[in-house]
Amino acid sequence: MLENFPILSLLILFPLVGAILVFLTGRNGKAAKFIALAFSAAPLILSGVLLASFQMSFGEYQFQENHTWIESFGISYSLGVDGISIPMAFLTALLCFLAILFSWDVEHRTKEYMGLMLVLEVGVMGVFTSLDYFLFYVFWEVVLIPMYFLIAIWGGPRRAYASIKFFIYTHVASLAMLISIMALYFEAKPVLGYASFSMIDIATVSGGFGHLFQVAAFGALFFAFGVKMPIVPFHTWLPDAHVEAPTAGSVLLAGLLLKMGSYGIIRVALPTLPEGAQVLMPLMLAIAIVSIIYGAVICLAQRDLKKMVAFSSISHMGIVLLGIATASQLGIAAAVFQMFAHGLITAVLFMMCGVVQHKAGTREIPLLGGLASKMPYAATFMTIGFLASLGLPGMVGFVAEFSVFIATFDAYTWLLLLPIASVAITAGYYLWALQRTMFGPLTEKIDTSHLHDVSWYEAVPLAILSFLMILFGMLPGLIMDYIIPSAGIISGILGVG
Amino acid sequence: MQPIEFAWLIPVFPLVAAIAIGLFGKKLKEGGGYVAVVAAIASLAITAAVVVQVLDGSFDSADGVMDGVFEQSQMWLTLTDSYSFEVGIYIDQLTALMLVVVSLVSTLVIVYSLAYMGGEGERKRRYYTEISLFVGVMLGLVLANNYLELFIFWELVGLCSYLLIGFWYHKPSAASAAKKAFIVTRVGDIMFMIGLIILFTTFKTLNFRDLFEIEASGTDLSLLTIGTIMIFGGAIGKSAQFPLHDWLPDAMEGPTTVSALIHAATMVKAGVYLVARSFPLFVQTPETLLVVAIIGGVTAFMAATMALNNPNIKRVLAYSTISQLGYMMLALGAGGYLFFHTQHAEGYTSSMFHLMNHAFFKALLFLCAGSVIHAVHTEDMRLMGGLNRKMKITSFTMLIGALSISGIPPFSGFWSKDEVLATVWEAGDLSWVFVLLYFLGIATAFMTAFYMFRLWFMTFTGKPSVASDHAHESPRVMTYPLILLAILAAGSFLVLFVGGGFGGQVFFEEPHSLAPAEVLTATFAEPITYLSIIVAICGVGLAYAVYYRKSISSDVFVSTKASRTMYDVLIKRYGFAAAYDAFAEKVVYGFSKLVDLFDIYVIDGIVNGFAFIFARSGNIIRRLQTGQVQLYAAIVIAGISIVFILLYLVGGLR
Q: Residue B458: in which H helix or E strand, if any?
A: helix B432-460
Statement to judge: residues B390 and B495 lie in one domain? yes
Q: Chain A partners of B80 at a C-beta cutoff of 8 Å?
A: 329-330, 333, 484, 488
Residue A482 contacts B, CB cutoff 8 Å: no
Q: Give the pLDDT score at A328.
A: 93
Q: Give the pLDDT score at B196.
A: 95
Q: Give the pLDDT score at A379.
A: 93
Is residue B251 included in any domain, yes or no?
Answer: yes
Q: Give the pLDDT score at B634.
A: 66
Q: In this complex, which of A148, A333, A427 lies closest to B632 when CB atoms are compared?
A: A148
Residue B645 contacts A, CB cutoff 8 Å: no
Q: Is the pLDDT of residue A484 over 90?
A: yes
Kindly state the average pLDDT of the residues B61-66.
Answer: 78
Instruction: Please write down the HEC assignment for all residues of B355-383.
Output: HHHHHHHHHHHHHHHHHHHHHHCCCEHHH
The model's confidence at residue B654, banded by pLDDT at 50, 70 and 90, is very low
What confidence tens digit (pLDDT) does each residue in A391-429 have?
999 999 999 999 999 999 999 999 999 999 999 999 999
Chain-chain contact of A480 with B156 (C-beta, under 8 angstroms):
no
ipTM greater than 0.90, yes or no? Answer: yes
Q: Is the pLDDT of residue B653 over 50?
A: no
Left (φ > 0), alpha (ψ -120 to 50) or beta: where does B312 sit? beta
CA pair distance A115, A373, nearest whole angstrom: 38
Total residue length of chain A: 497
Bridge partner residues of B144 (DSSP): B89
Chain-chain contact of B169 with A439 (C-beta, under 8 angstroms):
yes
Chain-chain contact of B77 with A480 (C-beta, under 8 angstroms):
yes
Chain-chain contact of B635 with A171 (C-beta, under 8 angstroms):
yes
Q: In this complex, which of A72, A152, A425 lies closest to B651 when CB atoms are compared?
A: A72
The model's confidence at residue B646, banded by pLDDT at 50, 70 and 90, is low
Chain-chain contact of B639 with A141 (C-beta, under 8 angstroms):
yes
Q: Give the pLDDT score at B611.
A: 74
Statement to judge: residues B643 and B511 lie in one domain? no
Is residue B127 included in any domain, yes or no?
Answer: no
With 0-12 / 13-18 / 19 or more C-beta atoms within 10 angstroms meaning exposed / middle / buried, residue B234 is buried
Q: Is the pLDDT of residue B37 over 60?
A: yes
Statement to judge: residues B496 and B613 lie in one domain? no
Structural domain of B512: 146-571
Q: In this complex, which of A302, A416, A477 lies closest to B197 when CB atoms are compared?
A: A416
Chain-chain contact of B175 with A440 (C-beta, under 8 angstroms):
yes
Q: Chain A partners of B190 at a C-beta cutoff of 8 Å?
A: 420-421, 423-424
Q: What is the mean pLDDT of chain B?
A: 89
Q: Give the pLDDT score at B271.
A: 95
Chain-chain contact of A431 with B183 (C-beta, under 8 angstroms):
yes
DSSP letter for each residue of B200-230: HHHHS--BHHHHHT----HHHHHHHHHHHHH
* B74: number of Cβ within 10 Å: 8
Q: Is the pLDDT of residue B584 over 90?
A: no
Kindly state the average pLDDT of the residues A366-390.
Answer: 92
Q: Which of residues 542-601 of B touch A (CB under 8 A)?
A: 584, 588-589, 591-593, 595-596, 599
A404 vs B383, higher pLDDT? A404
Q: Which of residues 359-398 of A touch B (CB under 8 A)?
A: 370, 372-373, 387, 392-394, 398
pLDDT above 90 covers what percent of chain A?
76
Q: Which of residues 139-168 of B touch A (CB under 8 A)?
A: 148, 151-152, 154-156, 159, 162, 166
- Count Cβ neighbours within 10 Å for each residue of A261-270 and write b for 16 or more, e otherwise: bbbbbbbbbb
Q: Is the pLDDT of residue B620 over 70?
A: no
For the CA atoms of B494, B495, B497, B500, what is the dihedral angle to 10 degrees? Answer: 180
Residue A179 contacts B, CB cutoff 8 Å: no
Is residue B4 included in any domain, yes or no?
Answer: no
- Overall number of domains in chain B: 2
The model's confidence at residue B630, banded by pLDDT at 50, 70 and 90, is low
H-type alpha helices, B204-312: 208-212, 218-238, 247-250, 256-260, 270-277, 279-282, 286-307
- Main-chain dihedrals φ then ψ at residue B240, nearest 5 degrees: 50, 50
The model's confidence at residue B86, banded by pLDDT at 50, 70 and 90, is very high
Strand pairing category for A75-81 and A62-70: antiparallel
Mutate one of B164, B229, B592, B614 to test the A interface: name it (highest A CB count within 10 A): B592
Bridge partner residues of B84 (DSSP): B78
Q: Chain B partners of A236 at a C-beta cutoff of 8 Å?
A: 599, 603-604, 607
Max avg pLDDT among A52-66, A95-109, B512-526: A95-109
Task: Report the helix count and the strand count for chain B, using DSSP H and E.
Answer: 28, 3
Q: Chain A partners of B193 at a C-beta cutoff of 8 Å?
A: 402, 405, 420, 423
What confidence tens digit (pLDDT) does each residue in B535-576 have?
999 999 999 999 888 888 878 888 888 888 888 888 888 888
Residue B12 contacts A, CB cutoff 8 Å: no
Is residue B26 included in any domain, yes or no?
Answer: no
Q: Give the pLDDT score at B636.
A: 65
Is residue B205 included in any domain, yes or no?
Answer: yes
Kindly state the average pLDDT of the residues B57-85.
Answer: 84
Left (φ > 0), alpha (ψ -120 to 50) or beta: where does B627 sit? left
Q: Chain B partners of A373 at a C-beta cutoff of 8 Å?
A: 170
Statement to judge: residues B186 and B269 lie in one domain? yes
DSSP letter for each residue of B568-598: HHHHTGGGHHHHHHHIIIIIIIHHHHHHHHI
Q: Is the pLDDT of residue B616 over 80?
A: no
| Residue B475 distance to chain A (closest CA, Å) | 31
Q: Which of A189-203, A282-296, A408-422, B608-622 has the lowest mean pLDDT?
A: B608-622
Residue B524 contacts A, CB cutoff 8 Å: no
CA pair distance A95, A34, nearest whole angstrom: 16
What confidence tens digit (pLDDT) does each residue in B384-433 have?
888 888 889 999 999 999 999 999 988 999 999 999 999 999 999 999 99
The model's confidence at residue B60, banded by pLDDT at 50, 70 and 90, is confident
Statement to judge: residues B558 and B630 lie in one domain? no
Is residue B193 included in any domain, yes or no?
Answer: yes
The model's confidence at residue A485, banded by pLDDT at 50, 70 and 90, is very high
What confidence tens digit (pLDDT) does each residue in B220-269 have?
899 999 999 999 999 999 999 989 999 999 999 999 999 999 999 999 99
Is residue B500 included in any domain, yes or no?
Answer: yes
Q: Is the pLDDT of residue B442 over 80?
A: yes
Statement to judge: residues B238 and B286 lie in one domain? yes
Do B198 and B226 touch, CB atoms closer than 8 A?
yes
Q: Give the pLDDT score at B652.
A: 46
Residue A197 contacts B, CB cutoff 8 Å: no
Task: Map out the domains of chain A as residue ranges.
Answer: 7-493
Strand pairing category for B69-78 and B65-66: antiparallel
Chain-chain contact of B200 with A370 (C-beta, under 8 angstroms):
no
Q: Chain A partners of B609 at a C-beta cutoff of 8 Å?
A: none
Chain-chain contact of B625 with A164 (C-beta, under 8 angstroms):
yes
Instruction: Please write down the HEC assignment for all residues of A404-467.
Output: HHHHHHHHHHHHHHHHHHHHHHHHHHHHHHHHHHCCCCCCCCCCCCCCCCCCHHHHHHHHHHHH
Q: Is the pLDDT of residue A336 over 80?
A: yes
Statement to judge: residues B555 and B638 lie in one domain? no
Statement to judge: residues B562 and B620 lie in one domain? no
Mutate one of B124, B169, B229 to test the A interface: name it (highest A CB count within 10 A): B169
Q: Give the pLDDT score at B63.
A: 76
- Main-chain dihedrals φ then ψ at residue A69, nearest 5 degrees: -110, -65
| Residue B11 distance to chain A (closest CA, Å) | 15
Statement to judge: residues B533 and B600 lie in one domain? no
Q: Is the pLDDT of residue A199 over 60?
A: yes
| Residue B212 distance to chain A (closest CA, Å) | 21
Q: Give the pLDDT score at A168.
A: 85
Residue A405 contacts B, CB cutoff 8 Å: yes
Statement to judge: residues B598 and B557 lie in one domain? no
Statement to judge: residues B459 and B563 lie in one domain? yes
CA pair distance B480, B397, nearest whole angstrom: 10
Residue A20 contacts B, CB cutoff 8 Å: no
Q: Give the pLDDT score at B651.
A: 53
Q: Give the pLDDT score at A171.
A: 85
Q: Is the pLDDT of residue A1 over 50?
A: no
Q: Which of A144-158, A292-306, B319-333, B456-470 has the lowest mean pLDDT?
A: B456-470
Statement to judge: residues B409 and B512 lie in one domain? yes
The candidate with the shortest Cα–Cα distance to B132, out of B206, B7, B36, B244, is: B36
Is residue B365 included in any domain, yes or no?
Answer: yes
Q: What is the mean pLDDT of chain A?
A: 92
Q: Give the pLDDT score at B344.
A: 85
Q: Which of residues 273-332 of A touch B (CB under 8 A)?
A: 294, 297-302, 329-330
Q: Which of residues 451-510 of B touch A (CB under 8 A)?
A: none
Chain-chain contact of A393 with B152 (C-beta, under 8 angstroms):
yes
- Main-chain dihedrals φ then ψ at residue A83, nearest 5 degrees: -65, -15
CA angle B76, B78, B81 (to 5 degrees): 145
Q: In this complex, which of B148, B197, B625 lies closest to A160 when CB atoms are compared?
A: B625
Chain-chain contact of A169 with B607 (C-beta, under 8 angstroms):
yes
Q: Is the pLDDT of residue B635 over 90?
A: no
CA pair distance B303, B62, nearest whole angstrom: 45
Do B37 and B107 touch, CB atoms closer than 8 A?
yes
| Residue B102 distance to chain A (closest CA, Å) | 21
Residue B198 contacts A, CB cutoff 8 Å: yes
Do A337 and A484 touch, CB atoms closer than 8 A?
no
